Amino acid sequence: MKITPEITRKSITHLINDGERADGRAMDEFRDIEIETDVISKAEGSARIKLGKTQIIVGCKPQIGEPFPDTPNVGVLMTNGEMLPMADPTFEPGPPSEESIELARVVDRCIRESEMVDLEKLCIEPGKKVWMVFVDLHIVDYDGNLFDAATLGVMAALMNTKLPIAKYVDDEVVIDENETMDLPLRDKAAMCTFVKIGDKMVLDPAREEESILDARISIGITESGNICAMQKGGNNPLTRENILESVKIAYSKVPELLKNL
Amino acid sequence: MILITSNDKKRDDDRAFDDIRPLKIEAGVLERADGSAYLEVGGNKILVAVYGPRESYIRRLLRPDTGVIRCKYNMAPFSVDDRKRPGHDRRSTEISKITAEALRPSLMLEGFPRSMVDIFIEVIEAEGGTRCAGITAASVALADAGIPMRDLVVGCAAGKVDDEIVLDLSEKEDKEGQADVPIAIMPRTGDITLLQSDGNLTEEEFEKALDLAIEGCKEVNKVQIEALKEKYAKE
C-alpha cells in the first residue's frame, strides 16, 4: 500500500472540489506538449514526446514478414509498450505488468481501429510477403497520463516513418534502400484521458492526481470525428453522465492535440 | 452476410437488434471453491471459481485497511477454432485487469483487511462477448461465496454491425462488425464499472450503443438474480 497518496488525497480532492488543481491548470487543460521527431536515426520512424514531465520515446521498425492466413493482402501493425524501471521507483523490471499491457493494447486499439494506416498498401506480394510495422513505446519518465502521451507519440512516429521501397521479384523481396515511401496514413487520432476525483472529471491527470483517482476514462477520437477506442480504468464506477460529458470535452480537445504534430 | 436494415429485420441468428442471446446461469457448481458459477450465453461456456477472502500470501498486494481482489481470465486451448496456446497472453492479462476493476466497486472488503479474494474465470468455449459473460458469471460466483456486496455487477456489449447499433454481438457479428462497446454496470445505481470501445462510432452512435448496452445489462441481471434464487431460495 502506498502511504503518500492517502495523505495527499484529501488536499487534492479538496482543491479539485473548489475548482482548482495543484499545478494551477483548468479542469480541461492539457500540460505543455513537446514533440521531437527523427530522434533515432537507426529507426525508420521515431519521436520523443513530453507531456508535462512525462516522457516517452517511440520507435517504428518495419520488417518483412508473412501475412496472416486470413488476411493475405494486408500488412501488419503492432504496438508494444514497456514501462521501464527507470521511469518510476515503483516500476519493476521483469515481465510486463498489467498496467503496461493495458497501455500498449489501448494505444494499439486506438491506432488500429481508426484504420489510419492503410494496411493494404503495406502488402508486397499477396499471401507471401507484407510489411510488418512494429511500434515500440519506451516510457522513460512517468509523470502521469501515459495514455495520451503514448498515443500522440505513436502518431508522431508514424507520420515520421519512411519505408524502403520493396518489390517482389522471382520469389524474393528486393529492397531499394535509396528510395523510400511515407507510411500510408489516411487519418489521425488522439486520445483524451480523464480521471474522476470526487465528483469532477479532470483532463490530463498529473502523476499525483492519477495516484488518487477514483476512476479513469480514455477516449480516442480520429481527426475525421469518430470514436475509435475507449477504456475505463480504476476501482470505482463512472456514471453515464460522467462518460458523455468526457466524450464532449474530448471532441473539442482532439483538434488542439493534433496541432502539435 | 448479416442483414439489418431496420429495427424489424432480424439478424442472422434471428434476433432483433435489442435481443440478447439465450442465457443460462447456475450458481454453486464447483465443490472445492468458496463460490462458483457456470454461464452459457449463445455459444459461450464459462466457469468461474472464487476463493476467499483468505490471507493474502502475496505481501506486496496486501493492504492494511481493506481486502484486495485478484482476477485471472483464461481461455482453454480448445475453446476457439484454432487451438490457443495455453497460458496467459496480452489479451487475457488486460481482460483480467479490467474485470477486477469492474467487480471491485461492488465488493465490501473493508471488513477483511490484509485478505485477498481470488477470482478464476475459465472460458471453456468462446463465441464472442466472453469478457462481459465472465464478469456476469464472476459476480454470481462472488455472491455464491457469501462475500458482502453492494450489488451484482453485470456485463453486456452493444456494437455496430452493418451500420446498425445492435445488442450482444455474436462471434460472427464481432468479427464482421464495425464496433464493439462492452460495458458492466451495477444495476441498482446504474454506475458503470467497465467501459471499452473498439471500432469506429460517431458521438450519437456511441450514446445509443451505451444506452442499449445498459438495457441489455438489466436483462442479464434478471437471470443472475434467478440463478441465485434457484440455489438459495429453497434451502
Q: What is the helix (H) or strand (E) element at residue B218, kind and residue range?
A: helix B203-232
- Among candidates B192, B193, B199 on the partner chain, residue whose Cβ is nearest the Cβ of A113: B199
**B90/A contact by beta carbon, under 8 A:** yes
Predicted confidence at residue A4, as pLDDT, reads: 67
**Length of chain A (residues):** 261
Q: What b/e readout covers A34-49, taking b as 16+ CB neighbours within 10 angstroms?
A: ebebebbeebbbbbbb
Predicted confidence at residue B82, as pLDDT, reads: 85
**A105/B contact by beta carbon, under 8 A:** yes
Cα angle A200, A205, A210 (rounded to 5 degrees) comes to 90
Which chain A residues touch B185 with a CB distance below 8 Å? 237
Distance from CA of A18 to the nearest CA of B (A): 24
> Which backbone phi and psi does A132 adopt, to 5 degrees?
-115, 115
Distance from CA of B98 to the nearest CA of A (A): 7
Q: Among all residues of chain B, which has the CA nearest to that of A235?
A: B101
Q: Compute the mean pLDDT over every residue in chain B, rounded to the nearest whole number.
A: 92
Average pLDDT for B51-76? 89
Q: How far apart are CA B43 and CA B29, in angstroms?
A: 19
Q: And the C-alpha cell for B225? A: 438474480
**Length of chain B (residues):** 235
Predicted confidence at residue B139, as pLDDT, reads: 98
**A113/B contact by beta carbon, under 8 A:** yes
Closest CA to A218 of A228, A226, A208: A228
Average pLDDT for B202-228? 97
* ipTM tops the 0.95 cut: no
In this structure, how many other beta carbons lie within 10 angstroms of the beta carbon of residue A4? 10
Subunit contact A222:B206, Cβ cutoff 8 A: no
Which chain B residues touch A96 with a CB distance below 8 Å? 90
- Among candidates B93, B96, B186 on the partner chain, residue whose Cβ is nearest the Cβ of A237: B186
Given a cut of 90, whether residue A123 has pLDDT beyond it is yes
**A239/B contact by beta carbon, under 8 A:** yes
Which chain A residues touch B181 with a CB distance below 8 Å? 230
| Per-residue model confidence as pLDDT tens digits over A157-169 | 999 999 999 989 8
Predicted confidence at residue A84, as pLDDT, reads: 85
Which chain A residues touch B208 with a CB distance below 8 Å? none
- Among candidates B64, B202, B214 on the partner chain, residue whose Cβ is nearest the Cβ of A225: B202
Given a cut of 90, whether residue A57 has pLDDT beyond it is yes
Q: Among all residues of chain B, which has the CA nearest to that of A220?
A: B197
Q: And the C-alpha cell for B167? A: 445488442
Which chain B residues touch A101 with a CB distance below 8 Å? 90, 93-94, 97
Pick the CATH number of A3-258 from 3.30.230.70, 3.40.920.10, 3.30.70.20, 3.20.20.70: 3.30.230.70
Subunit contact B195:A230, Cβ cutoff 8 A: yes
Subunit contact A243:B191, Cβ cutoff 8 A: no
Predicted confidence at residue A85, as pLDDT, reads: 82
Q: CA-CA distances (angstroms) from residue A261 to A36, A103, A151, A152?
A: 9, 21, 12, 8
Cα angle B16, B163, B82 (rounded to 5 degrees) comes to 80
pTM of this structure: 0.84
| Per-residue model confidence as pLDDT tens digits over A90-105 | 887 778 889 999 999 9
Q: Among all residues of chain B, which has the CA nearest to that of A116?
A: B200
Q: What is the 3-state secondary structure (H, E, C) of chain A?
A: CCHHHHHHHHHHHHHHHCCCCCCCCCCCCCCCEEEEECCCCCCCEEEEEEECCEEEEEEEEEEEECCCCCCCCCCEEEEEEEECHHHCCCCCCCCCCHHHHHHHHHHHHHHHHCCCECHHHHEEECCCEEEEEEEEEEEEECCCCHHHHHHHHHHHHHHHCEEEEEEEECCEEEEEEEEEEECCECCCEEEEEEEEECCEEEECCCHHHHHCCCEEEEEEEECCCCEEEEEEECCCCECHHHHHHHHHHHHHHHHHHHCCC
Q: Do residues B118 and B51 lie in contact, with contact meaning Cβ atoms separated by under 8 Å? A: yes
Given a cut of 90, whether residue A55 has pLDDT beyond it is yes
| Per-residue model confidence as pLDDT tens digits over A129-150 | 999 999 999 998 999 999 999 9
Average pLDDT for B172-182? 95
Distance from CA of B210 to the nearest CA of A (A): 8
Average pLDDT for A79-84? 87
Predicted confidence at residue A251, as pLDDT, reads: 97
Q: Between these two residues, B65 and B59, which has the higher pLDDT value?
A: B65
Enumerate residues 169 to 208 of chain A having a beta carbon within 8 A of any beta carbon in chain B. Answer: none
- Please, which residues have CB within 8 angstroms of residue A104's CB and are 6 or more apart in sequence? A79, A80, A81, A96, A137, B90
Average pLDDT for A185-209? 95
Average pLDDT for B187-199? 96
Which chain A residues touch B62 with a CB distance below 8 Å? 1
Q: Check residue A198 and give left, alpha or beta (phi > 0: left; psi -120 to 50: alpha).
A: left
Q: CA-CA distances (angstroms) from residue A15 to A27, A209, A216, A237?
A: 11, 11, 18, 21
**B99/A contact by beta carbon, under 8 A:** no
pLDDT band at B235 (very low <50, low <70, confident <90, very high): low
Q: In this structure, what DSSP letter does residue B112 have?
A: S
| Per-residue model confidence as pLDDT tens digits over B101-135 | 999 999 999 999 999 999 999 999 999 999 999 99
| Per-residue model confidence as pLDDT tens digits over A15-52 | 999 999 999 999 999 999 999 999 988 899 999 999 99
| Per-residue model confidence as pLDDT tens digits over B13-35 | 889 999 999 999 999 998 888 99
pLDDT band at B1 (very low <50, low <70, confident <90, very high): very low
- Among candidates B94, B101, B197 on the partner chain, residue whose Cβ is nearest the Cβ of A105: B94
Q: Do residues A135 and A58 lie in contact, with contact meaning Cβ atoms separated by under 8 Å? A: yes
| Amino acid found at A121 | K
Given a cut of 60, whether residue B207 has pLDDT beyond it is yes
**A2/B contact by beta carbon, under 8 A:** no
Which chain B residues touch A251 with a CB distance below 8 Å? 203
Q: How far apart are CA A241 and CA A229, in angstroms?
A: 18
Domains of chain B, each with CATH number or no CATH = 23-232 (3.30.230.70)
Q: Among all residues of chain A, which has the CA nearest to that of B97?
A: A98
| Amino acid found at B35 | G
- Among candidates B97, B104, B211 on the partner chain, residue whose Cβ is nearest the Cβ of A102: B97
